[in-house]
Amino acid sequence: STETQTQTGSLQFDTYMAKMAKQVHETLDEAVPLRHPLKIHEAMRYSLLAGGKRVRPILCIASCELVGGDEAAARPIACAIEMIHTMSLIHDDLPCMDDDDFRRGKLTCHKAFGEETAVLAGDALLSLAFEHVATETTSVSSDRVVRAIAILASAVGSDGLAGGQTVDIASEGKIIDLSELEYIHLHKTTLLLEASVVCGVIMGGGHAVDVDRLRKYARYIGLLFQVVDDILDVTKSSEELGKTAGKDLESDKATYPKLMGIEKAKEFANALVAKAHEELSYYNSTKAAPLYQFANYIAQRQN
């Protein structure tokens, strides 16, 4: 039955995710050996190896393989993207930003190592990311490597993550409209997911048409990630508080459930999964299976 097929698909996907996450973890472990000065390297390793879901590097490698590339071609840039993601979380948690004490079930980097070290560990991870791509990528033309580096750099700078964070901070405590909400999500979340996919396609030898299609796929799952996040915020906080209205429905932070209602937000999420799947219909379904399941995984995630 289709239900059995779906279950088999998601079981295989769980195995796939676990296997890929382990490979990424091992590469990251090797990329930052503990050395002098101990403090900064300990802090880098503490955050990098804390065990995130590794969504971005896995997307990158799966996209490379979809267009016929070898996993090894994308691995350095996939790990670089996880370094950048991690440093953005370290800086995001700082007292001058979100001021968080816990991340990935552990103390935040600055709580464990102090603010100065957390800032420097973040800076060092950002720099190491680009060094890692440039020195570790083999059997990909330098033209493709340079193109991928430019895309990644742009996704992180003032037209990317850093720009998104700037607008997010400026909007704090203010009522924002849908277009500003979309700007923040696009820049803080979607562009790095998009760069993960597009860099994988480029390292894998993909053509312009592949870049266009898979960029669209990434846009849909990026938006999906955010809509699901907003829905989870509402359902989680209503469970915690034991009442029907979640905290985000009460605070003035704009969210999709708040702007369109929880039921419409769920419908929107389903429509995004369908649109993401549509972009994969041009590819061999066996090869596209990981990215296909990825969209389902993001839609169904519980944390």
Q: Which residues bind ligand GRG (CB under 6 A)?
A: 52-53, 55, 88-89, 91-92, 97, 104, 126, 156, 161-162, 165, 188-189
Nearer to ligand GRG, 189 or 237 (CB): 189
CB of 108 to ligand GRG, least distance (A): 12
CB of 29 to ligand GRG, least distance (A): 16
C-alpha–C-alpha distance, residues 58 and 171, integer Å: 32
CB of 188 to ligand GRG, least distance (A): 4
> Where do we find the tokens 């596209």?
288
C-alpha–C-alpha distance, residues 247 and 238, integer Å: 7
C-alpha–C-alpha distance, residues 222 and 236, integer Å: 21
Nearer to ligand GRG, 121 or 161 (CB): 161
CB of 163 to ligand GRG, least distance (A): 9
* Residues with Cβ within 8 Å of residue 104, at least 6 apart in sequence: 50, 51, 52
C-alpha–C-alpha distance, residues 69 and 122, integer Å: 31
Nearer to ligand GRG, 68 or 95 (CB): 95
CB of 3 to ligand GRG, least distance (A): 28
Nearer to ligand GRG, 106 or 287 (CB): 106
> Which is it for strands 102-103 and 106-107: parallel, antiparallel or unpaired?
antiparallel
Report whether the peptide linkage leading into residue 37 is cis, meaning its omega lies within 30 degrees of zero. yes
Which residue's Cβ has the minimum distance to ligand GRG? Answer: 52
